[in-house]
């Protein structure tokens, strides 16, 4: 349960501005986790979360705005360098790369934390990208194809 709770904490602080342990506790309860303040405090320490100077919200170390721009540039560069084709079926995208290049592209997509992307599964030359819904799948397909075309 600890790992699920900590993953939920990371999702929350990555996607929202959360500035207090009490606020984090309330958001966790909505997600089905009933944690005490002491447990949340230990989780924050285990996850090495820090507070942003700008607004006092929790973040992972190194998640400053400059890092976001670097991550966005990295995923774009990876798409340009590795992507060969995209096929969409509803909210599922199948990306094709040359042999051995699916892993670095999937890693770049995962690190970019695109709002529309739930996750990726990569093989040797194929990546399954799961998006929130079919419309998000179309948006990501257009984005990646646009980048790949230059």
pTM for the model stands at 0.60
Q: Which residue has the higher pLDDT, 95 or 57?
A: 95
90-102: pLDDT as tens digits: 999 999 999 999 9
d(Cα 145, Cα 150) in Å, to the nearest integer?
A: 9
Strand partners, 58: 51
Percent of the chain exceeding pLDDT 70 equals: 93
Q: What 3-state class would DSSP assign to 130?
A: strand
114-129: pLDDT as tens digits: 889 999 999 999 999 9
Q: Which residues of 39-78 are buried (b: 16+ CB within 10 A; e: fewer)?
A: bbeebbeebebeeeeeeebbbeeebeeeeeeebeebbbeb
Domains of the chain: 2-59 (1.10.10.10), 71-149 (3.30.1360.40)
């Amino acid at each position: 349960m600890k790992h699920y709770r900590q993953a939920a904490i990371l999702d929350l602080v990555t996607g929202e501005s959360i500035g207090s342990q009490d606020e984090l506790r309330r958001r966790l309860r909505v997600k089905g986790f009933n944690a005490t303040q002491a447990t949340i405090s230990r989780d924050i320490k285990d996850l090495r979360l820090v507070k942003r100077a700008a607004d006092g919200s929790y973040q992972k170390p190194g998640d400053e705005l400059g890092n976001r721009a670097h991550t966005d540039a990295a995923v774009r560069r990876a798409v340009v360098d590795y992507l060969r084709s995209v096929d969409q079926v509803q909210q599922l995208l199948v990306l094709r790369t040359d042999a051995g290049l699916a892993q670095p592209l999937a890693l770049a997509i995962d690190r970019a934390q695109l709002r529309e992307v739930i996750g990726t599964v990569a093989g040797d030359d194929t990546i399954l990208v799961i998006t929130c819904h079919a419309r998000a799948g179309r948006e990501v397909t257009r984005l990646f194809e646009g980048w790949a075309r230059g």
